[in-house]
Chain A
């Protein structure tokens, strides 16, 4: 992980996108990419009141993405994923299957993990999106980002941003006492589930890794869960069988 190199790569892509890629972007995306920011970012978006019917064309959308609120006009066909990648240049969120079957596009919407490929950007009006770029509260890495590096939780890395966003929400869900299908009745409610490896795997099953880095992904998450004072089982504990 070389932070400066990584930044310069992103900067190059961004400049390429604004320069030579512009014509290609137009022809590929047409009106989908024609969203325009109408004002500078502000602090919190207010959900706009229910509107009159908008005939095919652009719909006003106010959405907070990481630290900034954006006032946009969007074709209602634009997915949140395409808004992030093609319009906001937030290319950390990946397009895998584009059909809700892989989890590579996972972001947080009002703090909850969702598939951005199946979420129309217009329904995000008045809501807050957190992507991998905004996951860390400070200048350093989020503990899950650091743990994925420490535990080698990836090979090609394409699914990694989705895995990490998903894991961040998963730990919040466990803290809130949400059950999985493996969680025995009565063990949640006000209490929290024990995050056995089986529980972690089931709770992360919405994120596919074609490289098969699952064992190291599980160990990275187990470590961060333990550091966050969530109850975990020792490595290899599978939890209640189905």
Chain B
């Protein structure tokens, strides 16, 4: 690991000011991804700013009826919190599907959004990667790309975003609160992460020095009619091949609104908006679910080793919607 300077930040303005002094500084929260990437030489920050004392770990009700999750709330606390458990079961399920209990005790809401892809070529500094070293090429495009993207990828990058939490947040229309050198702003979760295009080195739309302070959840109409389905190579403690966050608001026997977000298939949590539109007004039955799932993968571009993901995604959407409709 490269040497770096270390500082414990006092509060949010102090953290932002410390970051502004050193362009290659990184904020350190749980460290479960950043420390690992530093061991691998993928991340080589000149300064770590320890933000763990910033008192951003509260989970509280908003005046709107929604809930604010502090950026430093640990994933295990968020998943077990009565407000989250009772109102946003989808988020709790997604959090508890991710990583391991030990990692969830360290991992924070803000850090989860900032985690990098687990693409093997990104991690292996001996191979080309446009995300790690812009312009060096993509090892995955014609390499072993079983875990890679089928939606929204580019010639420069076919990496996927690894988060489960962010997939549920996308479905729930969460809003990310950030503070930077020029003040505070709100970023809808769906606009927080980027598609790779020609600049896959930029995962998010954060400006330099901006710090996530909270994630806000608007009131949810979905109750228990939600399901987070994660499909992976073993039963637990593995990244998703495909995941689906599904929520249905069913009234008088018809779907009023549906939310579908996908993980493991794109460079960002992927909202399947066309599929949602197709479900609106339909009876919550298998035929409608299958048509919606077909719409969700209509634009899929599989690679040599991940063509299975197209069918897997389609079937996973049908299953997640079926379980959501059953309210379990």
Residue ranges of A at the interface with B (Cβ–Cβ < 8 Å): 47-56, 59, 75-77, 79, 98-100, 103, 106, 109, 112-115, 118-120, 122-123, 125, 166, 169-170, 173, 176-181, 184-185, 188-189, 201-203, 205-208, 242
Which residues of chain B are within 8 angstroms of A189 by Cβ–Cβ distance?
A: 82, 85
- Chain B residues touching A, range: 35 or more
Of B97-105, B151-159, B189-197, B249-257, which binds chain A? B97-105
Tell which of A47, A55, A178, A206 touches B100, judged by Cβ atoms closer than 8 Å.
A206
**Chain B residues close to A by CB (< 8 Å):** 1, 3-10, 14, 18, 21, 28, 30-32, 35-36, 39, 47-48, 50, 52-53, 76, 79-80, 82, 85, 89, 92-93, 96-97, 99-103, 105-106, 224, 235-237, 328
Q: For the complex, what is the distance from the CA of A201 to the CA of B6, rounded to whole Å?
A: 38
Say yes or no: B5 contacts A55, CB within 8 Å.
Answer: yes
Give the residues in chain A near B32, CB-CB below 8 Å. 100, 115, 118
Cα distance A87–B6 when bound, in Å? 20
Among candidates A50, A76, A180, residue contacting B48 with C-beta atoms closer than 8 Å: A76
Bound-state Cα–Cα, A132 to B293, Å: 49
> What residues on B are CB-neighbors of A54 within 8 Å?
5-7
Interface centre among B6, B30, B92 (most CB of A within 10 A): B6
The closest CB in chain A to the CB of B229 belongs to A242
| Docked pose: A54 CA to B18 CA in angstroms | 12
Known: A53-B21, A205-B237, A206-B99. 18 other contacts (CB 8 A): A50-B10, A50-B53, A56-B4, A76-B6, A112-B76, A112-B105, A115-B100, A119-B35, A120-B48, A122-B6, A173-B76, A176-B80, A179-B85, A184-B328, A185-B224, A188-B80, A188-B85, A206-B237
Complex Cα distance A106/B101, Å?
10
Given A170-B101, A188-B85, A206-B101, residue A115 in contact with residue B106 (CB < 8 A): yes
Once A50-B14, A123-B31 are accepted as A-B contacts, the answer to whether A118 and B36 lie under 8 Å apart by CB is yes
Closest 7 pairs between A and B when the two form their complex, measured CB to CB:
A206-B100, A205-B236, A56-B3, A181-B96, A76-B6, A50-B10, A53-B7
* Residues of chain A lying within 8 A (CB to CB) of residue B89: 185
Smallest CB–CB gap between A202 and chain B, Å? 6
